[in-house]
Amino acid sequence: MNKEKLKNNLRDIFKTSLPFLKKMAKEKIVPVLIKKSYELLSKKSQNIIEQLGKLLEKIKTTENIEKRKAHLIGFKLGLDIIGALGKELTNAYEQLSRELAEIETSIK
Q: pTM above the 0.85 mark?
A: no
Please name which of 47, 46, 70 lies closest in space to residue 59, comparing C-alpha atoms: 70
Work out how many domains the chain is built from and give that number: 1
Q: Looking at beta carbons, which pairs linking 83-87 to residues 24 or more positions away fall under 8 Å?
A: none
pLDDT tens-digit series, residues 44-56 = 999 999 999 999 9
Q: What is the DSSP string of 33-85?
A: HHHHHHHHHHHHHHHHHHHHHHHHHHHHH---HHHHHHHHHHHHHHHHHHHHH
Radius of gyration in angstroms for the set of CA atoms belonging to the chain, rounded to a whole number: 26
Residue 55's domain comprises 3-106
pLDDT for res 1: 59
Region 48-73: mean pLDDT is: 95
pLDDT band at 94 (very low <50, low <70, confident <90, very high): very high
Report the chain's mean pLDDT, rounded to a whole number.
Answer: 91
Region 70-75: mean pLDDT is: 96
